Amino acid sequence: PSCIAIMCHHISPGGEWNDFVLAETLLDTLQRLNYLAPRTLPPLEALAPKVVPLRAGGITRILLRLALDLISAGAVKVCVVTVPRIRTIIEGELGKSGEPTQPLQYLLATLLRTLKSALLSGSGTDTEAAGYSKAKAIVPLMKDLIRHCMPVLPDAAKASQGEHTHSLQFFTESGSAKQFIKSFNSPQWNALLQWADQVASAGTAEERDVCYAIQKQRTKLFDAHEEEVLRCAKGEIAEERRLDETFAAVKREHTAPEVERRAQVMLHMDNHRRNMARLWRRVWRSVSNERAPWGSKEAVQYWKLDKTENLSRMRLKMKRNYHFDGHHGAARSLEDHSSRGPPVEPELKVKPTTGINVVSIEDAEVEDDAVKADGDMQGGEEEEAAGQEKQEKQEKLVFSCSAELVQPMNITPGTLEITTTHMYFHEVIEAGEGVDGEATAQAAVGVAGEEGGAKADEASKTPKELKIPLEQLREVHLRRYLLRRSALEFFLLDRTNYFVNFKKRERNKVYNKIVNLAPPNLSYFETGSPEQILKRSDLTRRWQMRQLTNFEYLMHLNTIAGRTYNDLTQYPVFPWVLRDYSSPSLDLSDPAVYRDLTKPVGALNQERLEQLLVRYENFCDPDIPSFMYGSHYSSSAIVLYYLIRIEPFTTHFLQLQGGKFDHADRMFYSIPNTWNGCVNAPTDFKELIPEFFYLPDILVNHNRFKLGSKQNGEPMDHVQLPPWAASPDEFIRIHREALESDYVSENLHHWIDLIFGFKQRGRNAVEALNVFYYLTYEGAVDIDAIENDDERRATESQIDNFGQTPSQLLRRAHPQRGPVEKSKLSLFSLVSLCTTSRFPVTFSSHPIIFLCVPGATFSEQLVHTVNDRLVAVDEKRLVSLNRLQPHAGGSQPFAFEPDSALASRKRVGIPFHADVEGNASCFATSSDGKLMFSCGHWDNTIKVTWVDGSRPPQSINKHKDLVTCLDVSADGKVLVTGSRDTTLLVWDIVFSKGSPVRLDANPAHILYGHDDEVTCLAVSYDLDVCVSGSRDGTCIVHTLSQGTYVHSMQHPQQAAISIVAVSSLGHIAMYSSEDLTLRLYTVNGRHLVSSHSPERIGCIHISKSASIIVCGNEDGTIVFRRLHDLRVVQRVQLRQRIRCMTPSADEKLLLVAVEDNSVVIIAPDV
């Protein structure tokens, strides 16, 4: 009722009303009647912001519909109140003449149906009374409506039927309400009710049409509104985009450069902190070693293998281990033996995972390492820091990509950057792993504790940083990693190397960028498959001609086939060459002591082989090809098995074994036992590693690790040797001699065919009994094609743990090595087999105090260009350039041509100091023989003189006292000088257009450690060491490239050291003229043997093969000694004082300068 009153109240005088005001009023009313929760609808302003006028007819329909609903559902009181309201609404319609309007007909029909419902509802007395009362309330209005609608009512409802019935008009005009109600069941009323149902249905249909039209109009208006909203939104989005672009442009112009500058500053500061920490560690170690002011000789020192290699790729040196871990508690107890059974066969019987494309080993295509040319690129510490900063400003970034630094048992992810001058590797540290650089620097400079500054690495895990100058690059090799050709290995001038893995497609890009930058010292950058590289090389012919040793040739094959020290799964592989490890002595001329090199290790035992062949023939698996040997001959476990006694491999072994050593009976404790296991055990087929032929330290437990005890209670310590080897050094020497023996030389090609050649794969491998598990072969599986990460990791793990077969180098049988021709052997190889002849030549009027054939000491690349030149200096410092041509035929094995311009030659430098007697240690030549370096002058300078006198000499004064000795490295790039001021200076020789021209103005390093005058020195470019002797009785070893102290050797009587010499295999010969004793040490400071010489030795030379040491005595005797035991092999009497000596480039001649001004040339009698 309130709503009806409100609606009537808001009808305007003109018959129209404001729907906004009405709607607001209705909502407030319904809320008060609790029909709506408080304000659950949005504000009306948002729903109807505009005033929409409605027609009066529409208002009438709305009001009537509301009123009828109230009458139909409301109580009698509501009905009584509502009926007058309805009459008010329709009063205007009832007063009109003519046909009744549709709303009035609909109103009548609805009231009729409501009356029927009221009269028929319920059966109780109360319900009937209520229905009668509601009917009575609406009857007056119904009468008026019937009279008004009479023209449209049906005839059946109008007429009377019978005498007892009255017409409809009677009831509307004179009948009372009671009579009106009682006649409700008459035929007239039934006809009227039928008419009411029809009108109501028609009204409902009309309302449905109206609602549909309203909804359609509403949808149309809504769509139009949405289009307008979208249009406005697009405009706003475009405006926002324009503003964003404007902001981004401003950011790029102003913010981005500042952010980049800040990042560069932070990076520079971080690098500076790390560099300072590194320099401080170096300084602290230099002043705290055993020969330094704050050093202690009583401190226990521990060692680890230095990764520096010599030209034969031997790693001979040990270096100080500042972070030694004794691995206490890693040994297994004796009780553990009962808890575990015998060793389990580490066979690969894992089936390939789903999605792996298994390729037949016989038909596997090994991809070439062909690299296409790049199209875009054809064609003092403060001073050092300042120069480095200047260089950083000049260098530009060329290429950058993600990479992995591969090291034994460690893969470091990071980024490789190539600039115009350097290569950088930056380790990528996950969030939360890095440590602030300032904290690292502070930890590094804290000197408290055992080794100040060295604990920086322990205090924080700073990212690994690698900086390689491009000028240090010597070789770049294409490599594979986990059977994928995706890696590069970089070999540097300092004899170190690094293995970096890339994404497969980026490897060749990096290679092209480096090659196109044309590093000045890059001498090797071959492309193509390993087979093609070997075919293009001259290695096989040189090996056949005995220009390469068996060891050198095998190392070359391993290198070309991708074997590397940086990846334990691809470690270089060498053969077992001996089979006799039980005899008290060994005769290397007896073929019975050698292993059969025509068979793999697994086929050496016929009984075991038959069992393996039965399994091979009966093996049936649809996914795995048949194989004879379930374990490989080379794997990371095998390498660590052999190297367990030296760091860092001890730590690597524990990483592989989960922090514990293996049971002592299963570890490497005996060479004879290991050989027996390889021959007889059902699952042991391992070969050897290169260290068995040059490094005795792998057989000695220098660091005193607690490796446990065997089942019999015997503790594990040093390796048990065969009876024929008295010491580890003797075993290594004999083992290397066996490798170079005639029997091995004649049969080594068979083993090469098995490991690197045509018997490695396919039918030939089956016939040679040389078939291993398929996942060890290159090309057997395409790892990149495996999409599932878990499956790919599982496959990589199998490859990583069980070894890899080397890349195949030969498709045909390897040629056999030729027989030994004595005419092509060196003097030092024949000196123990034949006599020698002497040929004196004279070309000077004064005794010669210095002789040098540049090719005899410098690298092999220069031998063929300068080996006919003989540089000589007499005691008057007059230099002569003579020509010596070996193998010229005739009555003597050489042709000698004296210097024709000797009369016009100038003297070298200035007069010697009064205390100096000119000798060979005061002179050295450059790599091409054109420059002469001299010392011992009275003004304490170093003189650099052009032999031909074409340029003025260079004079450098950096020592504080007399310069007593000097030596040049074999590559001709470094000069080292020693002085009475107890120091040594390391100088870089400056080159121009490939030729040396002068010394650098300032020394690269200053070497300390001696307490008295430096009397002698020797430089080994091959080993990267400088060995110096002093009057204080010490012999000190420094690194040549870094200038760091390594260790020292003390003369037992602290006698002055007169001569030092270094061999290519790391022997250090030390002689003192005070006790006339020649002593031999290893490069790692271990004493080997001593020999007393009754004659005073004036000069020493060690052969390139490190087999013979030649001593020139002052009594005129040339003594040839075996290097390993210093036993005399042959004596040559010249009967005159020997001033100096030097071999020819090919070592077939020995040139000796004697006191009578002549040079005696010694040659073998072949």
Q: From CA 79, how far away is CA 67, in angstroms rounded?
A: 9
Rounded to the nearest integer, the mean pLDDT of the chain is 82
> Average pLDDT for residues 148-164, to the nearest whole number?
67
Structure tokens at 350: 């894992």
At 532, the amino acid letter reads Q
Winning range, highest mean pLDDT, from 162-171, 289-298, 516-525, 594-603: 594-603
pLDDT of 1098 higher than 70: yes
Least confident range from 300-304, 391-395, 731-735, 1104-1108: namely 391-395
E strand residue ranges, 216-337: 303-305, 318-320
Mean pLDDT of 410-426: 93
Q: Sheet holding 1150-1154: strands in order across?
A: 836-842, 1158-1164, 1150-1154, 1138-1143
pLDDT, tens only, 781-826: 878 788 888 888 888 888 888 889 999 999 999 999 988 888 788 8
Residue 5: which H helix or E strand, with range?
helix 2-9
Give the count of beta carbons closer than 10 Å to the beta carbon of residue 628: 22
What pLDDT is recorded for position 888? 56
Provide the 3-class DSSP secondary structure of residue 848: strand
Per-residue pLDDT at 886 exceeds 90: no
Closest CA to 479 of 561, 583, 415: 561
| Full-model pTM | 0.76
Confidence grade of residue 983 (pLDDT, cut at 50, 70, 90): very high
CB-based contacts of 883: which residues, under 8 Å, 6+ apart? 868, 869, 870, 895, 896, 897
50 pLDDT band, cuts 50/70/90, is: very low
Please say if the pLDDT value at position 181 is more than 80: no
Averaged pLDDT for residues 21-33: 51
In the chain, count H helices and then E strands: 31, 38
Most confident of 16-30, 234-248, 305-319: 305-319
Extract the tokens encoding 194: 């039928």
CA distance 926 to 865: 14
Read off the tokens for 714: 């015997």
Residues 6+ apart with CB under 8 A from 230: none
Confidence of residue 126 (pLDDT cuts 50, 70, 90): low
* Tokens, residue 6: 């409100």
* End-to-end C-alpha distance for the chain, whole angstroms: 141
3-state class of 175 per DSSP? coil
Band of pLDDT at residue 942, cut at 50, 70 and 90: very high
Which parts of 546-702 fold into alpha helices (H)? 550-560, 606-618, 636-642, 649-656, 671-680
- For 880, phi and psi rounded to 5 degrees? -135, 145
Task: Report the pLDDT value the prediction gives residue 493, as an integer from 0 to 100.
Answer: 87
C-alpha dihedral, 269 to 275 to 276 to 281, nearest 10° = 150
> Which one has a higher pLDDT value, 185 or 474?
474
Q: What's the pLDDT at 35?
A: 43
Q: Which among 695, 675, 692 has a CA at the least distance from the CA of 739?
A: 692
Of 269-278, 300-309, 332-341, the range with the lowest mean pLDDT is 332-341
pLDDT the model gives residue 457: 44
Does the pLDDT of residue 864 top 50, yes or no?
no
Burial 579-610 (b: 16+ CB within 10 A, else e): ebbeeeebebeeeebbbebebbbbbbbeebbe
Residues contacting residue 755 through CB under 8 Å, at least 6 positions apart: 573, 575, 633, 687, 806
* Band of residue 677 on the pLDDT scale cut at 50, 70, 90: very high
Least confident of 425-439, 449-463, 884-898: 449-463
Distance between CA atoms of residues 320 and 305, nearest Å: 9
Helical H segments across 251-357, by residue range? 256-288, 336-339
pLDDT at res. 69: 73
Predicted confidence band at 748 (pLDDT cuts at 50, 70, 90)? very high
In the block, tokens 């403060």 appear at: 382
Q: What is the DSSP string of 898-963?
A: --TTGGGPPBSSSPBPTT----GGGEEE-TTS-EEEE--BTT--EEEEETT--S--EEE--SSS-E
Among 235-239, 671-675, 833-837, 936-940, name the one with the lowest average pLDDT: 833-837
* Confidence class for position 121, pLDDT limits 50, 70, 90: low
Where helices occur in 592-696 by DSSP H, the ranges are 606-618, 636-642, 649-656, 671-680
Cα 861 from Cα 439, distance rounded (Å)? 48
pLDDT number for residue 430: 66
What confidence tier does 724 reach under pLDDT thresholds 50, 70, 90? very high
pLDDT on residue 938 = 92
Residue 11 has pLDDT above 50, yes or no: no
pLDDT at 391: 55
Q: What percent of the chain has pLDDT over 70?
A: 79
List the 954-956 sheet strands across, edge first. Answer: 923-925, 931-934, 942-946, 954-956
pLDDT bracket for residue 333 (50, 70, 90):
low
